[in-house]
Amino acid sequence: MIQETHVHDQQVRPLSTTQAGDCVRVVGIDAGRGLNSRLAAMGLVASTELRVVSNGHPGPFVLIVKDAKVVLGRGVAQKIMVR
């Protein structure tokens, strides 16, 4: 995994731990090939910027990805590593 700590001093963490209003960047996605390709098609690839609209606790996650609003289940949000 590529480590570029100089961009932000925040550490790499799963998307599921972010809060509403956070703006984060995708570092890597730790999922199977099917989910990975689906997420890529929705615009979720490494280095994509995301804005967290709501962290549903314990419900699904709402994000803004490339100008579109996308919902993810918590299981999926745990597999996306962001910074």
Residues that bind another protein (CB under 8 A): 1-2, 28-29, 31, 33-43, 45-48, 53-54, 56, 58-60, 62, 64-73, 75-76
Distance CA 31, CA 8 (A): 24
As measured in angstroms, the least distance from the Cβ of 50 to another protein is 12
Is the four-CA dihedral 62, 9, 39, 48 of positive or negative sign? positive
CB 52 within 8 A of CB 45: no
CA dist., res. 29 & res. 39, Å (int): 9
Query: Cβ of residue 7: shortest distance to another protein, in angstroms?
Result: 17
9 versus 32: smaller Cβ distance to another protein: 32
Residue 16 C-beta: closest distance to another protein, Å: 13
